[in-house]
Amino acid sequence: MTAVEELTTYRRALHQIPELAMQEFQTHAYLLKQVRDWQAPFMTIREVPELPTALFIYIEGTAPKRTIGYRADIDALPLDEATGLSFASQHAGVMHACGHDVHMSLALGLVHYFAENQPSDNLVFFFQPAEEDKSGGKVAYDLGLFEGKWRPDEFYAVHDQPSLPAGTFSTRIGTLFAGTAELYISIQGVGGHAAYPNVTKDPIVVAAQLISTLQTVVSRNVDPIKGGVVTIGSIHGGTRTNIIPEQVDLQGTIRSLTQSGLQTMIERVQTIVAGVAAAFDVVIDLRVETGSYLPVENEASLTQNWLDFFAKRPDIAFVPSEPAMTGEDFGYLLQQIPGTMLWLGVDDVNPLHSPHLNIDEAALWPGFVGLRDFLIWRMEQI
């Protein structure tokens, strides 16, 4: 089997067994089986009882000057796949709609290569559970899993980008992805008959006012040059036409390219919620979860290394990136360990998180080559 065929095999096998955050046991077993087949005297495979679906690989360098880390996320999304692929998800209601199957496949390719070609620097590979939910990167860090030889001096990762041509890399110095906070809002009203709204406190009307007012957070409180997002993505309340319900529940997200901007937006949302509650004389419960989804801030000198590498390798496609409002919990790890995240183009008309996402597998080989050759080039630097 050629290297290209191996990457495709990994991707298709993993695509069929998507699992949700902290439930990636079948995925973990697949990854573990592959890396055990490549066991070398200079390679350590580490499982973690406290985080059972995580997997660490340490490859000792021949003359290490540094330890380089590489992270691949392994969880999937709660979506019914609608691609019609012959290797579509075998797990109902779960799909690799964010391309983590690609991320894992590239990491497996790198582990296999360096297991057969011992690097000069130490390498740490982290197959991370729970990127989409439950803050797996933060959980791993808080458990002390990056201590001693397992702590990289620099950390790297890639993320699929359907809007880029297959195999094209993209990144930038500074903020690449936004920091995010999730909103959970429960409006407690007084229900009753729709014909007598005067004796109720209608939570649907309150929800409508709240949603409209929250739009002023960005339009009137955020510097338009810096930008931000407040989106309500879920609203649930009521049962039929002639009943005013007791409760309406909302869920949404806040996104900012800076941590200070994110905090300002959170505080403004809290003020608005309190004000609307007072104006309508209802109780509104607001829960804000930030987890590990801090801004993905690429360290300047390490990211410049990537830019220098791409300049020396015109055969590897690269385009500069603009900041995106995408959230990624690699941002938390980059707050602890300097590093860089990159986009990798997978060329599809469907966006990330779509049940129709069908990445172009032509991205796998150039993605692997770019990552492998950068790591080799980086090891040559003093």
Active site residues: 73, 132
Q: What letter does residue 76 receive in the DSSP assignment?
A: -
Residue 57 and residue 46 in contact, taking contact as beta carbons nearer than 8 Å: yes
Report the SS3 class of residue 360.
coil
Residue 339 and residue 70 in contact, taking contact as beta carbons nearer than 8 Å: no
Task: Show the tokens assigned to 382.
Answer: 């003093």
Residue with tokens 């439930």, as numbered in its chain? 23
CA separation for the pair 160, 101 (Å, rounded):
10
Q: What is the DSSP string of 111-157?
A: HHHHHHS--SSEEEEEEES-SSSS-HHHHHHHTTTT-GGG--SEEEE
Report the SS3 class of residue 176.
strand
The amino acid at residue 127 is F
Strands laid side by side in the 67-73 sheet: 43-47, 55-59, 122-128, 67-73, 154-161, 339-345, 169-171, 318-320
